[in-house]
Structure 1
Amino acid sequence: MAMPKFNNNQLIAQFQDFRQKIYNCFESCSDACMNLLDALAGNTGANSIAELSLSPLFPRTYNSIYKAIIASFNTTSQEMNNEEQEGGKEEEEKEEKPNNLIRVVSELIRQPQQRPFYLFAIDTTPHPRPYARTLAERGYIYQPNTIKGNKPINIGHSYSILSILPEKETVNAAPWSIPISGERVSLDKTGVDVGSEQISEVMSDSSLPWQEKLCVLVADSAYSQRSFLFEQSKHKNLVVIARVRSNRIFYQSPPVDESKKKRGCPKKYGERFNLADVETWHFPDETTQIQQTTRKGRLLNITILAWHQMLMRGTKHQKMYRHPFTLLRIHVTDDTNQSLWKPIWLIVIGEQRGEISPTVANHCYRQRFDIEHMLRFSKQRLLMTEFQTPDVLHEENWIRLVMLAYAQLWAAKDLATHLPRPWERYLKPQSDTIMTPSTVQRDFPRIISEIGTPARSPKTRGNSIGRVQGQAQTQRTKHPVVKKQSKSTPNKQKAA
């Protein structure tokens, strides 16, 4: 079924309505916040946050940029102190603000037509700050290193990003991943723990369009651990597709034989299934073979083996034998039957996993890599990791602003025109692979100049009196780098 088409006036009206709703989400400095979002979404040359003030979409001084970041989500130190004093009512209002942003962004996602479910992706991305000694709650984070042999670690923060993967009209359509929730991973939690909380928040909000509809979450091997899958299995309409390492051990469901039924607790696990040992594999319940052609015309042969009703070991409180899953082995070969890369293993878990065929599960997991493109674009073109601040709350505000700027690019996708560079003349203007985030960002200033902005023009307020002569600046506190504790070590904070 083809995606619905809209005329230009409808697209402009929808985009203006979306921008007005974002504008209404900011309670203070809303004009500066909106100008900052526009300058960020239309950024093509700024390499720092202050340089965004040179954009024609930001008609204010560079000081207003930092005021907008601080006031965007009302997380100044004074406001935080007032919230602690006044109690729970303000905490509820603070939690309601991100929810409003999720509702606004979720309205951009059309209901899927080609597939009967909404597709989500989750991942954790590093935010390195190795030299920010006055920034609190810094720890050792995972960051891939291009130099072979070096440890893939750095010092700073990590952020868990939950996004929606929109339905593609064609197989080779541009990769888009719309972020709807971004939370910092605190020192007492892991990225998997924060991701589980984000999913629970999104799945429990009855005002969101995917409520009571089938949802699929794709994730990498870090999210295939027992604690995460057990929590997600509580959501009746959620199916999780997660990659697993090739050395994991699972179990078959125990055979049920009423004639040999004995007293006591029935057997919960069947025969052992070692992914690294072919001898332990039983005959697959389903075998699927498909062919796929890449953009360059290369033919791929994909073989998918499926084992149903598989189990993983649980604990006293996480009884995983109550949550069987489907195990998939995906092997890709070329036309000479040579293996192109190492076979991958996926698990499909959830009450409605039967609605997801092995072929659909493979396509869903392949689309998971779109979130990697989004994170890379956000860091290179939206300055996601360029905001140097000693305040953790202000850093969190900046991450949310970057997510909104990316959502603006998605909302303006159908209004943008292709502006090729001199070396990009080979690209066809009508191809759907053209409208990438980069090409929309290139044309974004023209779109805003034509449709306008809900932000009001700035007013000159004169020069600030500055600091009083003789006033002493208090030095910021330097915080140590905190190393997270393992389960076997005492519950005391270590500083490196």
Structure 2
Amino acid sequence: MDSLQDKAARVEALTALSRFRREFYSCLTLRADALFELTDAVLCAGGPVVSLPELSLEAVHRRGHGAMYDALAQGHINASRVRMALAGLELPRGADRQLSIALDVTPWPRPDAECSPERLHCHRPCRCDGVRQTIPGWPYQVAAALGGGRSSWTGPLDALRLGPDDDPTEVTAAQIRDLLERLREAGQWRQGDPAVLFVLDSGYDIVRLTWLLRDEPVRLLGRIRSDRVMHAPAGRRKGPWPGRQPRHGEEFRLAAPATHPAPVQQSRTVHDRFGQVTADCWGRLHPKLERRGSWTDHQGELPIVEGTLVHLAVERLPGNRDPKPLWLWHSDPDAAAYDVDRLWRIFLRRFDLEHTFRFFKQTLGLTRPRLRHPEQGDRWVWLILAAYTQLRLARRLAEDLRRPWEQPLAPDQLTPGRVRRGYPRIRKTLGTPANAPKATHPGPGRPRGRTSTPAPRHPVGKKRNKTDTRVRGAAQHQP
């Protein structure tokens, strides 16, 4: 009976993988064969991707390196259709079948690419002393579904490059709305299902996002700074004199325990890595907003955005002798409606996306190509997301091709790296929808006696350099 079930599971997994490969091929509307074989080369390479020309030497890439560069430069990918295909796949869910989606930004460092436009100052942690530094590059905001247990797998759903003129909070809100619409169309979320939970890190303005997404069936969970000040709901105005009622109640200073009232909920558990974990929860708290930053252009009176605060304290933290407490913000103000122990465990699942980013960059070569234009980078990012998705769909089909020094893993515990080792065998069974290359001959090359003009330089974080600004300003002041 078990063998019949295993065979049925393998057939189902093979069918799902083959269907996604055909759907992805149909999303490649220009230079489809070269782009698809480039994706297969990323999956079938014997080691980490370190160079684009070396990928053209793989057996699955039947075209030359010139066709590969031409596909990245002149090809086209229907990103909307790829997003819809990703939303229609089986997504990892928690024990209660709620969708938990992590949002985070990963940089593509391009510090020396002065001729590449639309670069921004991207944040990256310094491994030497832990100080956050910036590096010029292209930031990509990735949305991925999270599983319920410990795993290095996620389900990527979307990738969006942030531009110099983009408001990060507005762009994030629009990305969440579009993702919800696709989940509805794909049948992943229906009326009456639990609200989709989006897990964020401290770099997001989660209070502003809570206000922008107040009419959507979403819940936000994210980390906030430990020096913030919240306020309780305002009471009635004291005294018999008439006047305006207060908008803010007593202060709740996160860094001052004396201002903390008794928690609405409290959880004490023992974690195998963190030891004793204590989580306190307070509801109906809101920050005192000021008309600056993202609230500068807000029309009318500034709103009261209430939420739930979760304070997390652990006994120990790997690599840190003195662990600092963690503060989380949940967009639902009703603290008693949620299990506080479940909230912080879901937040820990957000770090699975860090494993995905590391696999993207160190194994699949997300940031290896030295492409000039950001549109070329967008095509490469979508190829990497499609490649990772194929690995996730091939988990039931892969064998554990472990190294002699590695421990054996169960079929349901295979890591993305081990699945990639066995993907060439799976690819032979699947075949390819790409057409065979046509016979051709090398091009004439660059004509003699002609030299190209220097490429324009682009400043980081701007679309117009200072020279253009001074020239235009002088023209405006002329009589």
Tell me which residue corresponds to 1:147.
Answer: 128
Tell me which residue corresponds to 2:259.
Answer: 280
Relative distance call for 1:366 and 1:262 in structure 2 (3 A) is: farther
Tell me which residue corresponds to 1:455.
Answer: 434
Deviation of residue 463 (structure 1)? 2.4
Tell me which residue corresponds to 2:178.
Answer: 201
Relative distance call for 1:281 and 1:21 in structure 2 (3 A) is: same
Deviation of residue 71 (structure 1)? 4.0
Tell me which residue corresponds to 2:418.
Answer: 439
- CA distance in structure 2 between the aligned counterparts of 1:328 and 1:248, rounded to whole angstroms: 13
CA deviations 1:457-490 (Å, max 9, x no partner) are 21212222333343432332122334699xxxxx
Tell me which residue corresponds to 2:161.
Answer: 184
Deviation of residue 355 (structure 1)? 5.3
Tell me which residue corresponds to 1:101.
Answer: 82
**Preserved CA contact (<8 Å) 2:43 2:420:** yes
**Preserved CA contact (<8 Å) 2:307 2:334:** no
Q: Quick check: 1:48 aligned with 2:28?
A: no
Task: Please give the secondary structure, in 1, of the residue aligned with 2:285.
Answer: strand
Deviation of residue 302 (structure 1)? 1.5
**Preserved CA contact (<8 Å) 1:233 1:323:** no
Tell me which residue corresponds to 1:303.
Answer: 278
CA deviations 1:114-136 (Å, max 9, x no partner) are 22310101111121111112111
User: 24, 27, 33: which one pairs with 1:25?
Assistant: 27
Which amino acid in structure 2 is aligned with residue 10 of structure 1? E
Q: Report 1:445-484 matches (<5 A).
A: 445-482=424-461
- CA distance in structure 2 between the aligned counterparts of 1:318 and 1:210, rounded to whole angstroms: 34
- CA distance in structure 1 between the aligned counterparts of 2:350 and 2:114, rounded to whole angstroms: 35
Q: Quick check: 1:271 aligned with 2:250?
A: yes
Task: Please give the secondary structure, in 2, of the residue aligned with 1:377.
Answer: helix
- CA distance in structure 2 between the aligned counterparts of 1:475 and 1:40, rounded to whole angstroms: 33
**Preserved CA contact (<8 Å) 1:140 1:153:** yes
Task: Please give the secondary structure, in 2, of the residue aligned with 1:143.
Answer: strand
Tell me which residue corresponds to 1:399.
Answer: 381
**Preserved CA contact (<8 Å) 1:378 1:402:** yes
Relative distance call for 1:327 and 1:20 in structure 2 (3 A) is: same
User: 136, 139, 160: which one pairs with 2:117?
Assistant: 136
- CA distance in structure 2 between the aligned counterparts of 1:352 and 1:34, rounded to whole angstroms: 48
RMSD of aligned Cα (Å): 3.0
TM-score (structure 1 length as normaliser): 0.82
Relative distance call for 1:305 and 1:352 in structure 2 (3 A) is: closer
- CA distance in structure 1 between the aligned counterparts of 2:336 and 2:72, rounded to whole angstroms: 45
Deviation of residue 143 (structure 1)? 1.8
Relative distance call for 1:290 and 1:68 in structure 2 (3 A) is: same
**Preserved CA contact (<8 Å) 2:27 2:79:** no
CA deviations 1:255-311 (Å, max 9, x no partner) are 469x989866543221000000111111111111122334xxxx7221110101111
Deviation of residue 415 (structure 1)? 1.1
Question: What percentage of aligned pairs have identical amino acids?
Answer: 26
Which amino acid in structure 2 is aligned with residue 197 of structure 1? A
TM-score (structure 2 length as normaliser): 0.85
- CA distance in structure 2 between the aligned counterparts of 1:36 and 1:125, rounded to whole angstroms: 23
Tell me which residue corresponds to 1:349.
Answer: 331
Relative distance call for 1:128 and 1:239 in structure 2 (3 A) is: same
- CA distance in structure 2 between the aligned counterparts of 1:229 and 1:474, rounded to whole angstroms: 49
Which amino acid in structure 1 is aligned with residue 43 of structure 2? A
- CA distance in structure 1 between the aligned counterparts of 2:69 and 2:113, rounded to whole angstroms: 18
Tell me which residue corresponds to 1:70.
Answer: 73
Moved more, 458-467 or 20-29: 458-467
**Preserved CA contact (<8 Å) 2:116 2:373:** yes
Aligned residues: 447
- CA distance in structure 2 between the aligned counterparts of 1:200 and 1:38, rounded to whole angstroms: 32
Moved more, 221-230 or 382-391: 221-230
Unaligned runs of 5+ in 2: 292-297, 471-479
